[in-house]
Amino acid sequence: MVPLSYYLVLGGILFACGVTGFLIKRNIITIFMSIELMLNGVNLSFVAFAAEWHALSGQVFVFFVMVVAAAEAAVGLAVIIAVFRTRETLNVDQVNLLKL
């Protein structure tokens, strides 16, 4: 019998790894993947609570999260391709034209 908090801690660890990856990685695709990792962690929390409270709404919500994540990934990668075409680089530190 696994306590709920174990699942939540696991979800939290995944989320923390995702944020850390977002902060320390320089390749923009890797940053995107970190975002996906964050979303996965959140999904785990949702499902855990759905199991805890016997509410199927949690799982429905996870379904929606996945759909939105997919749409976001598609658009985001298209943007990355467009940026790559103009800037010839995938290094996010070099996409800094908005600096003051």
Partner 1 sequence: MLHLIIFSVFGIICVAGAVNLLVQRHPINSALSLVVVMGSLAVEFLLLGAEFVAAVQVIVYAGAVMVLFVFVIMLLNAGEEERTRGSQVALLFGIPGVLIGSLLIAWVLVQSGTRSVAVGALPGPPKTIGWLLFHDYLLPFEVTSVLVLIAIMGAVVLASPQESAQEKRRHG
Partner 2 sequence: MTPNLHLCLIPLLPLAGAAINGLLGKRFSRQTVSAIALGFCGAAFAMAVWVAAQFSALNIPHVETLATWIRAGGFQADFAFYLDQLSLVMLLVVTGVGFLIHIYSVGYMWEEGGFYRFFAYLNLFMFFMLTLVLASNYLLMFIGWEGVGLASYLLIGFWFTKDSAAAAGKKAFIVNRIGDFGFLIALFLMIQHFGSLNFGQVFLNVAQRGVESGTGLLTSIGLLLMVGAAGKSAQLPLYVWLPDAMEGPTPVSALIHAATMVTAGVYMVSRSHAIFERAPLAMMVVAIVGTLTALFAATIGVCQTDIKKVLAYSTISQLGYMFMACGVGAFSMGIFHLMTHAFFKGLLFLAAGSVIHAVGGEQDMRKMGGLRTKIPWTFWTMTAATFAIAGFPPFAGFFSKDAILFQAFTSPYGSWVYWAIGVFTAFLTSFYMFRQWFLTFFGEYRGEEHSNHADDARTGVPAPHKHIHESPTVMLVPLVILAVLSVCGGWVGSVRFDNFLSPALHSGSPVMENAAATREEPGVSEGLLTSISIVAAFGGLGLAWFLYQRRPELPQKIARALNGFYEAVLHKYYVDELYAILFVKPLIDGSTKLLWQGIDRDVIDATLDNSADGAQHVSDAARHMQSGNIRSYAGWVAAGAAAVIAYMVWVGAR
Binding site for partner 2 (CB under 8 A): 19, 22-24, 26, 31, 92-93, 95-100
Q: Nearest approach, Cβ of 36 to partner 2 (angstroms)?
A: 15
Q: Nearest approach, Cβ of 28 to partner 2 (angstroms)?
A: 8
Backbone angle region of 15, left / alpha / beta, with phi > 0 → left and psi within -120 to 50 → alpha: alpha
Q: Nearest approach, Cβ of 70 to partner 1 (angstroms)?
A: 5
Return d(Cα 10, Cα 90) in angstroms, integer.
31
Beta pairing partners, 27: 91
Q: Which does 100 bind (CB under 5 to 8 A by kind): partner 1, partner 2, none?
A: partner 2
What token pair was written down for 39?
């979303």
Q: Which does 97 bind (CB under 5 to 8 A by kind): partner 1, partner 2, none?
A: partner 2
- Alpha-helical (H) ranges within 26-99 are 28-53, 57-87
